[in-house]
Structure 1
Amino acid sequence: MIKAVNSWDWEIGNKTSFWSHTLKELWAFRHLLAGLVRRHFLLNYQQTVLGPLWILFQPTLTLATYLLVFHKLVGISTGSVPPVLFYLAGIILWNFFNDSFTGTSSTFKEHAHVFSKVYFPRIIMPVSVISTQLLRFAIQFIMLLCAMVFYSFTRGFSFPVNSWLLTIPFIVLNVGAFSLGLGLIFSVLTAKYRDMTNLANLGVRLLMFLTPVIYPLATIPENVRWLVQLNPLTPMFELFRLAMLGEGTIALPSILYSLGFTFLLLTGAWLLFNKQGDKLIDIV
């Protein structure tokens, strides 16, 4: 007598687990992830006058504002780095973090209607947001390279040739992981408490002033510099400028602090998201 054995890839039940969504399951839904990235990218620019050119127009307009306010009016020094390149490097990296965090923090609020109708790993949605923003960052990064080439021919800017250039992919991944971890935590909080959305928006605006986006870390007085260095993003921004522009204030302990903080944040946020994800469907 032959006994039939049913083998299941997934079993959907009413129990939740900290390990309910693994990297293996995420890989199994990679085609859905690719489709969502394409959808996010296209929807952002449908029925717009400039279309995908908004990817370049937004940082350009921000750059003009920073040059007028912080360079001309306030007079913040950018050291030996041309102000345009200094601010543009900070803008594109900050936009990557800000847009990634904002998109992931509203995961349940924006996609509750989809989550309640069909099953797929909930983590797919925030990961698709990060992937879309990574694509936007790549386009803006090319714009930064073009600006560097222009300044090398017109202003005598020298491209930095050092081993720090190899750290750029790790910087981007670390900033993306940090925004994902922070966004996952706030996606759970905003699903339970709607007023947390306002707190998240306010917090990320204030965080920009504790991140060396509009100023180099070296210009901060020693007695208050520790406050900026508590921000895990600070070493990444300084390292990014050092790699791209040849000027930045970094130390190995601060880099290890940033990497360790991001790892712990993302791990804890991933476990929290897995545990609370299915429970929140009835709330939202």
Structure 2
Amino acid sequence: MRRDFLIHHQQTLLGPLWIVFQPVIVLIIYVLIFEKAVGLSTDGLPPSLFYLSGIILWTLFAECFTGTSFTFIQNGSLFGKVYFPRLIMPLSVMLVNFIRFGIQFLIFFVMLLVVDPRQVIDHPLRWFSAMIFSTVVVASFGLGMGLIFSILTAKYRDLVNVIHLIVRLLMFATPIIYPLSIVDPAFRLWVSLNPMCPVVEFFRFGFMGQGTFTGVQLLYSAGSTLLLVLAGSLLFNKFGNRLQDVI
């Protein structure tokens, strides 16, 4: 964890401050483009809180997914020197990203206290349960996908470009810059097949009282994420040692 954190922030102009500046800069761009210029609906929620809630969750997923996907590429020399459970590496990436998320979440929480403190004071159980459920599912979903792609990228290095493309495309299939309520009902079911959709909506509901989801959809998100993590872990452990010669 210490190594991964230092790699990202050593010899940089702002160091760990990028953890704070990055979501803030993206938030400003989203507000200017999607709220001011395009006029996308935010379901009546304050645009700054609406976009920031999506940004911090999506950053958690994207960092867990991409960081885990490059496990064998980045740690090949270490794997060849000493044996230890390979799963430690992607788990350490996940924990580092939880730290980053915690810092970014504090920014969102402070903004919520300034804009609408009653949501925090009047519904502590609602927002706390939404935070725990959403962050665990989002990070686990990224971990599960990353474990599977880590095996593929070890054999086919050009898939690195595909991973970045998946992250960009999947963001538009997730209600990060728009609420699920504005999606045509005929297509909403298809969009909701993305396990991230109801989770993001539940997160917003927990903190701001507005979100489009059902209990069944949340169970689907949790169940499919659990299956993805189990499948990814099994494949990772099965092929991990075999990939040493390939690396």
TM-score normalized by the length of structure 2: 0.95
**What SS does the corresponding residue of 2:210 show, helix, strand or coil?**
coil
Matches within 5 A, 1:1-40: 37-40=1-4
| Structure 2: distance between partners of 1:43 and 1:103 | 12
Q: SS at 2:109's partner residue?
A: helix
**Please, which runs of 5 or more residues in structure 1 have no aligned partner?**
1-36
Deviation by residue 1:109-146 (Cα, 9 ceiling, x = unmatched): 11101111111111111000000000000000000011
SS of equivalent to 2:9: coil
Task: Provide the rounded CA distance (Å) in 1 between the counterparts of 2:10 and 2:152.
Answer: 31
Residues 235 and 255, structure 1, Cα contact 8 Å, conserved in 2: yes
Q: 1:1-284, aligned counterparts within 5 Å?
A: 37-152=1-116, 158-160=118-120, 161-162=122-123, 163-165=125-127, 166-284=129-247
User: Quick check: 1:210–1:227 contact (8 Å CA) kept in 2?
Assistant: no
Structure 2 gap ranges (5+)? none
Distance 1:266 1:100 in 2: 12
Query: Whose helix proportion is higher, 1 or 2?
Result: 2
TM-score when scaled to structure 1? Answer: 0.83
Give the whole-Å Cα distance in 1 for the aligned partners of 2:22 and 2:65. 18
Task: Say whether the 8 Å CA contact 1:71–1:83 is kept in structure 2.
Answer: yes
Measure, in 2, the Cα distance between the counterparts of 1:112 and 1:118: 11
Query: Offset at 1:80?
Result: 2.1
CA-CA distance at 1:164 after TM superposition? 2.4
Residue 174 of structure 1: CA displacement? 1.1
Quote the Cα distance in structure 1 between the aligned partners of 2:66 and 2:237. Answer: 19
Q: 2 CA distance for matches of 1:268 and 1:164?
A: 31
Alpha-carbon offset, residue 192 of structure 1 = 1.2
Q: Secondary structure at the match of 1:49?
A: coil
Structure 2 Cα separation of the partners of residues 190 and 51 of structure 1: 29
Equivalent pair of 1:109/1:191 in contact (CA under 8 Å) = yes
Task: Work out the CA distance in 1 between the residues paired with 2:111 and 2:131.
Answer: 18
2:175 is paired with a residue whose SS is coil
Provide the residue aligned with 1:8 in structure 2.
none
CA-based RMSD: 1.2
The amino acid that maps onto 1:256 is L
Alpha-carbon distance between aligned partners in 2 of 1:266 and 1:209, rounded to the nearest angstrom:
23
The superposition leaves residues 149-186 of structure 1 with CA deviations (integer Å, 9 ceiling, x where unpaired) of 2223xxxx642533422232122111111111100000
Question: SS state of the match for residue 84, structure 2?
Answer: coil
Q: Distance in 1 between matches of 2:92 and 2:135?
A: 16
Could you tell me the percent identity over the aligned residues? Answer: 49
Distance 2:81 2:163 in 1: 28
1:247, distance to aligned residue in structure 2 (A) = 0.8
Matched residue type, 2:146: G
| CA distance in structure 2 between the aligned counterparts of 1:271 and 1:244, rounded to whole angstroms | 36
Output the CA distance in 2 between the equivalents of 1:95 and 1:167.
17
Larger Rg computed on CA atoms: 1
